[in-house]
């Protein structure tokens, strides 16, 4: 989207766009028609930038919520681990939680 001078006839407004991987310049016009097209393109560009900024802000907010959620999950895991270990459980091969076996006694003596 640019104004360019060609020859001695005033400025012309052109648009560039990609078609099939190639950049195509589209002649729009000069004078009032070119000014109108330039204003419309500028408004579309401003809208795209505003939407992109809103999206960035939303992604930042969601990222922050994800960090908070991760922190809460870590605290809950720590609390669960502490509670289960205090109740006599252990985590078997980093998997399921199992209750520790009681040591057996024979004739009043403890076996190891």
Task: Calculate mean pLDDT across residues 34-51.
Answer: 93
pTM for the full model?
0.56
Question: Nearest-CA neighbor of 97 among 105, 107, 106, 88?
Answer: 88
Residue 101 within a domain: no
Q: Which of 4, 72, 107 is nearest to 15 (CA)?
A: 4
Give residue 69's pLDDT. 95
In a domain, 31, yes or no: yes
Chain segment 44-81, per-residue pLDDT in tens: 999 999 999 999 999 999 999 999 999 999 999 999 99
pLDDT averaged over every residue in the chain: 88
30 occurs within a structural domain: yes
The model's confidence at residue 110, banded by pLDDT at 50, 70 and 90, is low
- Would residue 97 count as lying in a domain? no
Q: Is 60 a domain residue?
A: yes
Could you list the residue range(s) of the whole structural domain that residue 72 is in? 2-89
The tally of domains found in the chain comes to 1
Domain contains 25? yes
């Amino acid at each position: 989207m640019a104004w360019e001078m060609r020859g001695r006839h005033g400025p012309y407004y052109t648009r560039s766009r990609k078609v099939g991987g190639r950049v195509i310049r589209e002649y729009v016009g000069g004078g009032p028609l070119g000014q109108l097209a330039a204003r419309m393109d500028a408004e579309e560009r401003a809208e795209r930038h505003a939407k992109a900024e809103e999206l960035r802000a939303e992604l930042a907010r969601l990222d922050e919520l994800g960090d908070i959620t991760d922190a809460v999950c870590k605290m809950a895991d720590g609390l669960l681990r502490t509670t289960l270990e205090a109740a006599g459980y252990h985590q078997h091969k980093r998997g399921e939680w199992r209750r520790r076996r009681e040591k057996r006694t024979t004739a009043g003596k403890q076996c190891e």
